[in-house]
Amino acid sequence: MAGLTEDPNPVLDIDGLLINQEHNNTEEENNNNNSNSQLKDKSAVLGKDREENSSKNQNQAERDMASIHRSGSRPQLDLSKAAIEGNFEEKDPTILLPNQSDDISHLALDIGGSLIKLVYFSRHEGQSIDDKRKKTLKERLGISNGIRRSYPILGGRLHFVKFETTKINECLDFIRSKQLHRGGMDSRHWNAEAPANENAVIKATGGGAFKFADLFKERLGVSLDKEDEMDCLVAGANFLLKAIRHEAFTHMEGRKEFVQIDHNDLFPYLLVNIGSGVSMIKVDGDGKFQRVSGTNVGGGTYWGLGRLLTKCKSFDELLELSQRGDNSTIDMLVGDIYGGMDYSKIGLSASTIASSFGKAISDNKELEDYSPEDISLSLLRMISYNIGQIAYLNALRFGLKRIFFGGFFIRGHAYTMDTISFAVHFWSKGDAQAMFLRHEGFLGALGAFMSYEKHGLDDLMVHQLVERFPMGAPYTGGKIHGPPLGDLNEKISWMEKFVLKGTEITAPVPMAPPPGTTGLGGFEVPSSKGGTLRSDASALNVGVLHLVPTLEVFPLLADPKTHMFLLAFQGVMHISDGLYSVTCYVIAPFSVDDISYEPNTIDLADHNELEYWFTVLSGHLPDLVDKAVASEGGTDDAKRRGDAFARAFSAHLSRLIQDPAAYGKLGLANLLELREECLREFQFHDAYRSIKQRENEASLAVLADLFAELDSMSEETRLLSLIEGVLAANIFDWGSRACVDLYHKGTIIEIYRMSRNKMQRPWRVDDFDLFKERMLGSGDKKPQPHKRALLFVDNSGADIVLGMLPLARELLRRGTEVVLVANSLPALNDITAMEVPDIVAAAAKHCDILRRAAEAGSLLVDAMINPSDSSKENSTSVPLMVVENGCGSPCIDLRQVSSELAAAAKDADLMERMHVTITRAFDDDVQIILEGMGRALHTNFNARFKCDVLKLAMVKNQRLAEKLIKGNIYDSVCRYEPAS
């Protein structure tokens, strides 16, 4: 925050606008102060003096606020008379700055000699509803509005775009079309029709930040605030390596493998940035680095010589030529010198390059006699090998084992990466490793973007970033940029044009490594030669980064690596209610790096698995499009959007079947989530809305009879019937072709009854007896009930109404708090957290247990309390609550869950440098029930937890049944695992 304000402790930032307050208030004191100084008008001035915090008068407060500024040429913030427009209680209110003189840009650029790279930010459109249920839930779960940092991170999206520097005017048109220099078209803080402000500033780095400064001022009316190029490169690389889970990868013999970086062991490393020239930077930490070497033989050399020798007009064209080349027609090989023999004594094979372009010395040929393809390939190998060798020698010089290569010379080009990797592997004899970054060309632009202090990206953790791959997002410069933000019709048109081009999406399938390629025997021809991806195929490699500060790691994941660093103890250890508690300080927050957890059960690195699941998803696509169009009334507009969705998702599948690692490490959960994102991208927000409503109504109609039947049973019989009911009801899944076929054979109730009648034990996975003993005990020994149960619900209709609600009711009857965990966003026919309260309210009409629990959990806004009910009875009822899981997919990744769910799962709130109470006995207090194929089979089947967990699912896919449980379709899984 250096240079931002004279006060080193600003504590509130709404949408990036810093508001000065006293810094030493506790969160509780600040909340009380807010309550005690209620604003009489909705647009009351934010800078109003608060007696509890300061003795300054109003005028002095305004003067202090007006003094907040950035040094030098940075944008100045004039917060005098700043006011909230609308409701002060809103999570994301609009701020009016009547005296603001400078625009705050959400755009940063890296303007190189060859390429312009843009990183820009756009706000999330959605506004969360802070209703009574949410407020009560926050109070009950202890979710605070406090922050670990002095200012919050903005929720939104980070986009990555590039242009050739020669097309700078197209870049400027792009910026203007989206109003990126003025906060973006989705900004609610600046008037897009207002005249340009002469003091507006954009962060920029690279030589072009100086060269084109006047052009930006002339065309956009903005100044370029120039950031140091090396500072930006290192800041961008450190951010990517820490914040993005599958950012770094190796590329050898045509195979891309992702590397999980231990953040505690990231430094030091060598960063090799290959732009027009090459810089080699030894990075020792955040902001700690030195440029140790470099070479003037880089991307500019390749392009410059290539253009002279081949007449290519673009870098991509030159790369594409290399894919069809044979460098042995120009390069002198060891075999050319030794009559086709290896030089085995020193480990050089006949195919090793002895001299790049060496044959041109003795061949009696002119330039036009050589193939442009061969020239391009020879150039590429010469320069790539040279860079790889120099990089390794510098790594050896400083004792570095890890080398990261970045820069748009690489361009996601498989052959380039293979060549560099062979060089590093050869010279180091396998001791060092070349690694690459998916956002390779955007290091500088991202670093420049981070220099806007208000974004606070340096404080993000890996679980707070979600990468998406929309088809409508612009990436490359040229005639098709993509539409202005939020224009769906333009997005659809762009999608149609994009798919019609075809070649920009599809690419040849990478060839298998040729037999005999060793790498250590010499510089063999990299195995990706001839089968490499098109140079422009990497346009889909980088997605949009969604910044979601409210995502957390699920705190009940069990792993021996889980740890905390303790700074100091405070207080005395004591025994309370059988639980050992101690208050302490922690240095570091709970980190995802401490969890070796892989949510995906199916490994799509297996090509056979990949092809099978792609076939399944492709086969399901027509039915999904029909449902999506029907959910929007079957209009012509809906049909057009449905076609665009089908094209987009098919294009993604086509891209991934050829390069499964194009979007990062791929699992089945990622594929399913990609499909849902595509639906939402074309504004199909709930394709199964009408089907879910119909199935909910049908199931609720028979719920009272089911309750009566269950209440007539003994405790042991009832428990078995409840588990049978969950398994039977889980048969309803519109994501399964086999289940869709079932719908043609009867109504939802008929299918449910048929499924119940076929419930025969033992099931394929049958731990019911273990679960029964934990719940009911044995003999005279009665176990204590769990304090809280988290029920991860799956599908709508019978699944939740006739399966999970009766089980929740039984747990409530036994005195266990129940939290129903549901999707934040729709996915197939999965129930969402927004829909669950209505279902609970309808079910509560038939059951006092559910009614009282729902009232206690604030699920019933209009309490249905009978006059005979006593207040004491209601006050002592355990609550039934609903929380969002933070995702919109049939599967769930427990490394990224909502803060609500994390709070519901943990006894203590773990925050940086805050008091924490560490409590033993998770295993006694909490129980997790994961239900459904997506949550218990596709993901988390092998996950281990600190608490008791019950995984329930009916298998609705034959291949999955064979793979996981060596069974058949419609087999049942009841897997009980006591606390780890």
Residue 818 belongs to a domain with what CATH number?
3.40.50.10880
Q: Are residues 94 and 189 in the same domain?
A: yes
Domain annotation covers residue 836:
yes
Residue written as token pair 């001022």: 217
Question: What pLDDT sits at residue 217?
Answer: 94
Residue written as token pair 């430094």: 267
Q: pTM higher than 0.85, yes or no?
A: no
Q: Are residues 741 and 814 in the same domain?
A: yes
What domain range is 736 assigned to? 709-977
Q: Quick check: 263 and 450 in contact, CB under 8 A?
A: no
Q: Is 340 left (phi over 0), alpha (psi -120 to 50) or beta?
A: left
Q: Are residues 973 and 945 in the same domain?
A: yes
Q: Are residues 888 and 787 in the same domain?
A: yes
Beta bridge partners of 289: 283
pLDDT in tens, 123-132: 765 444 445 6
Domain annotation covers residue 931:
yes
Q: In which band, very low, low, confident or very high, does the pLDDT at 511 lie, cut at 50, 70 and 90?
A: very low
Distances (CA, A) of 263 to 32, 259, 446, 560, 780: 39, 12, 19, 17, 51
Q: Are residues 824 and 953 in the same domain?
A: yes
Tokens matching residue 656? 């991934």
Residue type, 689: R
Q: Quick check: 312 and 306 in contact, CB under 8 A?
A: yes
Q: Where are the alpha helices (DSSP H) in 581-635?
A: 607-631
pLDDT at 22 over 50: no
pLDDT in tens, 906-956: 742 222 222 222 222 334 478 898 888 888 888 888 888 989 999 998 887
What are the φ and ψ backbone dihedral angles of 109, each rounded to 5 degrees? -130, 150
Domain annotation covers residue 838:
yes
Q: Would you give the distance in Å from CA 510 to the centre of its chain? A: 27
3-state helix, strand, coil in the chain (%, to 5): 40, 20, 40
pLDDT in tens, 348-400: 888 888 899 999 998 889 999 999 999 999 999 999 999 999 999 999 999 99
Q: How far apart are CA 68 and CA 79, in angstroms?
A: 8
Question: What pLDDT sits at residue 470?
Answer: 77
Three-class DSSP category at 712? coil
Question: What pLDDT sits at residue 4?
Answer: 30
Which residues have a Cβ under 8 Å from the Cβ of 594 and sit 6 or more positions away? Answer: 559, 561, 562, 563
Flag the least confident range among 17-31, 112-126, 669-683, 768-782: 17-31
End residue of a domain, out of 231, 250, 274: 231
Domain annotation covers residue 215:
yes
pLDDT in tens, 213-237: 999 999 999 999 999 999 999 999 9
Which residues have a Cβ under 8 Å from the Cβ of 880 and sit 6 or more positions away? Answer: 808, 812, 817, 818, 820, 840, 850, 853, 854, 856, 857, 859
- Which CATH number fits the domain that encloses residue 112? 3.30.420.40
More confident residue, 343 or 614: 614
Q: Are residues 798 and 851 in the same domain?
A: yes
Q: How many CB atoms lie within 10 A of CB 608?
A: 9
Q: How far apart are CA 732 and CA 864, in angstroms?
A: 31
pLDDT in tens, 881-911: 999 999 999 999 999 999 999 999 874 222 2
Q: How far apart are CA 891 and CA 936, in angstroms?
A: 8
Q: Quick check: 520 and 344 in contact, CB under 8 A?
A: no
Q: How far apart are CA 887 and CA 935, in angstroms?
A: 12
Q: Quick check: 397 and 423 in contact, CB under 8 A?
A: no
Q: Quick check: 214 and 120 in contact, CB under 8 A?
A: no
Residue type, 274: I
How many residues are listed for the chain in this entry? 980
Domain annotation covers residue 592:
no
pLDDT at 481 over 70: no
Q: Quick check: 690 and 960 in contact, CB under 8 A?
A: no
Q: How far apart are CA 732 and CA 954, in angstroms?
A: 9
Three-class DSSP category at 750? helix
pLDDT at 546 over 90: no
Tokens matching residue 67? 């003094």
| Secondary structure tally for the chain: helices H, strands E | 33, 32
Flag the least confident range among 52-66, 245-259, 310-324, 344-358: 52-66
Flag the least confident range among 244-258, 337-351, 518-532, 739-753: 518-532
Cα angle, residue 361 at apex, residues 358 and 364 outer, rounded to 5°? 130
Percent of the chain with pLDDT strictly greater than 70: 68
Residue type, 802: L
Q: How far apart are CA 781 and CA 307, in angstroms?
A: 84
Counted domains in the chain: 3
End residue of a domain, out of 199, 231, 263: 231
Q: Are residues 50 and 154 in the same domain?
A: no
Residue 463 half-sphere exposure toward CB, CA atoms < 13 A: 24
Question: What pLDDT sits at residue 350?
Answer: 83
Q: How far apart are CA 746 and CA 774, in angstroms?
A: 37
Residue type, 686: D
Mean pLDDT of 292-319: 92
pLDDT in tens, 532-543: 333 333 443 578
More confident residue, 174 or 507: 174
Q: Quick check: 257 and 273 in contact, CB under 8 A?
A: no
Cα angle, residue 921 at apex, residues 916 and 925 outer, rounded to 5°? 100
Domain annotation covers residue 777:
yes
Q: Are residues 719 and 867 in the same domain?
A: yes
Q: Are residues 51 and 197 in the same domain?
A: no
Q: Are residues 35 and 174 in the same domain?
A: no
DSSP for 499-565, please give it.
HHH-TTT--PPPPPPPTT--STTS-PPPTTTTTPPPTTGGGGS--EEEE-TTEE--TTB--TT----
Q: Where are the alpha helices (DSSP H) in 315-398?
A: 315-322, 334-337, 359-362, 372-398
Distances (CA, A) of 843 to 589, 697, 830: 40, 11, 18
Burial of residue 305, with CB atoms counted within 10 A of its CB: 0-12 exposed, 13-18 middle, 19 or more buried: middle
Three-class DSSP category at 270? strand
Q: How many CB atoms lie within 10 A of CB 501?
A: 10
* Torsion, Cα of 795, 801, 802, 808 (10° steps): 100
Q: Are residues 842 and 786 in the same domain?
A: yes
Three-class DSSP category at 187? coil
Question: What pLDDT sits at residue 866?
Answer: 44
Q: Would you give the distance in Å from CA 173 to the centre of its chain? A: 30
Q: Is 978 left (phi over 0), alpha (psi -120 to 50) or beta?
A: beta
Beta bridge partners of 402: 433
More confident residue, 356 or 651: 356
Q: How far apart are CA 954 and CA 968, in angstroms?
A: 10
Three-class DSSP category at 925? helix
What mean pLDDT value characterizes the chain?
A: 74
More confident residue, 751 or 522: 751
Question: What pLDDT sits at residue 463?
Answer: 86
Q: Would you give the distance in Å from CA 802 to the centre of its chain? A: 34
Domain annotation covers residue 692:
no
Three-class DSSP category at 458? helix
pLDDT at 765 over 70: yes
Q: In which band, very low, low, confident or very high, does the pLDDT at 448 lie, cut at 50, 70 and 90?
A: very high
End residue of a domain, out of 48, 71, 94: 71
pLDDT at 36 over 70: no
Which residues have a Cβ under 8 Å from the Cβ of 381 and sit 6 or more positions away? Answer: 327, 331, 353, 356, 419, 523
Q: How far apart are CA 459 and CA 437, in angstroms?
A: 20
Of 905, 261, 269, 909, the C-alpha closest to 593 is 261
pLDDT at 600 over 80: yes
CB burial of 248-277 (b: ≥16 within 10 Å; e: otherwise) equals bbbbbbbbbebeebebeebbbbbbbbbbbb
pLDDT at 70 over 50: no
pLDDT at 980 over 70: no
Domain annotation covers residue 671:
no
Q: Are residues 164 and 22 in the same domain?
A: no
